Amino acid sequence: MSAKEAPFRMESDLLGSTAVPIEAFHGAQTQRALENFPTGNRRTIGDYPDLIRGMMVVKLAAAKVNCAGGFLSGRVADAIVASAEEVLREELYDRFPIHFLHGGGGTSANMNANEVLANMAEERLGGRRGEYQLVHPNDHVNLHQSTNDVYPTACHIAIILKWKELRGALERLAEAFSVRARELASQSRIARTCLQDAVPIGFGNFLGGYASLLKRSLRRLQRLVEDLYSVNMGGTIVGRKKDVPPSYLSAIVPAIAEELGDTGFRQAEDLYDAAQNPDPIAAVASMLSILARGLVKIGKDFRLMGSGPECGFGEILMPPVQPGSSIMPGKVNPVIAEFLIQTAFQAMGHGAACQVAVDHGELDLNVWESIMIANVLDAMSELGDGIRAFEFKCVSGFTVVVDRNTENAGTIAPMLVELMHKCGYSAASAVCREAGGDREKLGRMLREVGPLPQVPDLEEDEK
């Protein structure tokens, strides 16, 4: 049977009646969103499991608090809670089919959640899908809530959940660099500034710098993610507390914390501010973009150090993972480093979209959180993919070309620095002037001054 011939049920909302596929767990408002915002092959909110998890946690916590306060019967509350738990347990994300960039400040996403849980709970209690005689999307599932507080809170929860995954990948990459730094502490390499030869240092010093960058990024991101533990649940309509009972207002955030097993959650000090300004999400996006830029630098460094191998730097060999050309035999490209770089480029673009969403907030509610949450979660996913591949297939397996690096560490630039230490900067400059730009002559003159500089005790320097 084709989609057009599929049986439908009729549901009503503010705008009248609409046909909903009879097997669907969503209702009229979700159906209108599907018609208004056709997804084509684009992502849906169900493609962001952490966002769905966030909404389910909010809904079941609200049902429990409303039951404890006497606002919902135990029978209805239990059915809503059991339905939300089923969505989480069975990962029923296909029941959330609306476009991830739906308009309305998240209303379609909130109603999608309300309708799915209402229909699941209705059937649990012996009713029929789409009738809402026993459990209603607005009157029961959404009781004492608004999209204004549900959606931002779910967004915060989603990023916190996703961060745990990205944090693990970053920690492993930082540790991989630390391990390789210790392994290669005594291996010299030529440092470069402005892509020109400078002085000998150890690979341990160089790789340790990467580890420090990643650890610093971890600390910064952790601090920014911690700001997301401040949520605006209870500030139901643009931050007003008067729209919910005092008992609900004081209990809803602790209930969410209990469901997530995380005591860090707290109610925002200024609920009006929380509705107006999603800058804590934008701050995470900005830091992800900064991290991405650092990862681009690391990936490009590996491409430079591995370039050639005969006519480039040729200082390291990355593990070969696939042939590099359809026509040039023997060519192997640094594809893992390039994968990391491109995931980082994507993350930068996601960050830019989030900043624009902050720029264009108006008055009492920033309605652009859909694009913010999608881009932050996408950035985290893509960076995680790039980081894991780079750590496993590149950092842990690259080798140093010892002869090339030892030769580089004893070239003219290091000898000039050694001469400067022995005789002073002016004397070393005078030798350069006398050579007149002839590198071979300059090399001979430096060798006449004394022995080649000794490569420093890199292992001791590392300590």
* pTM across the whole model: 0.91
Mean pLDDT of 272-292: 96
- pLDDT band of residue 450 (cuts 50, 70, 90) is low
Mean pLDDT of 245-264: 97
Q: Higher pLDDT residue, 455 or 142? A: 142
- pLDDT band of residue 13 (cuts 50, 70, 90) is confident
Q: How confident is the model at residue 282, as a pLDDT?
A: 96
298 vs 406: CA distance, rounded Å: 22
Tokens representing 387? 């980081």
Q: Higher pLDDT residue, 441 or 385? A: 385
Residue 35 pLDDT > 50: yes
Cβ-based neighbours of 340, under 8 Å, separated by 6 or more? 295, 298, 299, 386, 387, 389, 390, 394
Mean pLDDT of 376-401: 96
Place of tokens 């090339």: 404
Residue 2 pLDDT > 50: no
Least confident range of 180-189, 293-302, 435-444 = 435-444
What are the catalytic residues? 325
Q: How confident is the model at residue 119, as a pLDDT?
A: 98
Place of tokens 């209870």: 234
137 vs 211: CA distance, rounded Å: 50
Q: Higher pLDDT residue, 79 or 327? A: 79
End-to-end, the C-alpha distance of the chain in Å comes to 73
Instruction: Give 93: exposed, middle or buried? Use CB within 10 Å, 0-12, 13-18, 19+.
Output: middle
Taking the domains of the chain in order of start, what are their residue ranges?
A: 8-143, 150-187+200-401, 410-462
Q: Would you say 44 and 98 are in contact if contact means Cβ atoms under 8 Å apart?
A: yes
H-helix or E-strand containing 52?
helix 49-68
Q: Give the tens place of pLDDT for each residue, 311-327.
A: 999 999 999 888 888 88
- pLDDT band of residue 63 (cuts 50, 70, 90) is very high
Q: How confident is the model at residue 3, as a pLDDT?
A: 46
131 vs 142: CA distance, rounded Å: 17
Tokens representing 45? 């909110």
User: For the structural domain made of 150-187+200-401, what CATH number should be given?
Assistant: 1.20.200.10
- pLDDT band of residue 38 (cuts 50, 70, 90) is confident
Q: Give the tens place of pLDDT for each residue, 404-434.
A: 988 888 777 777 777 777 778 887 778 778 7
Q: Secondary structure of 192-207 in the HEC alphabet? A: EECCEEEEEEEHHHHH
Q: Give the tens place of pLDDT for each residue, 236-248.
A: 999 999 999 999 9
Strand partners, 21: 8
Q: How confident is the model at residue 214, as a pLDDT?
A: 98
Place of tokens 């005594």: 186
Q: Considering only the top CATH level, what class is 8-143? A: mainly alpha
Cβ-based neighbours of 460, under 8 Å, separated by 6 or more? none
Q: Would you say 390 and 338 are in contact if contact means Cβ atoms under 8 Å apart?
A: no
Q: How confident is the model at residue 455, as a pLDDT?
A: 46
Q: How confident is the model at residue 339, as a pLDDT?
A: 97
Q: How confident is the model at residue 5, as a pLDDT?
A: 56
Strand partners, 267: 231
Q: How confident is the model at residue 310, as a pLDDT?
A: 87
- pLDDT band of residue 453 (cuts 50, 70, 90) is very low
Residue 145 pLDDT > 60: yes
232 vs 250: CA distance, rounded Å: 12
Place of tokens 């955030």: 253
Q: Which amino acid is at 442?
A: L
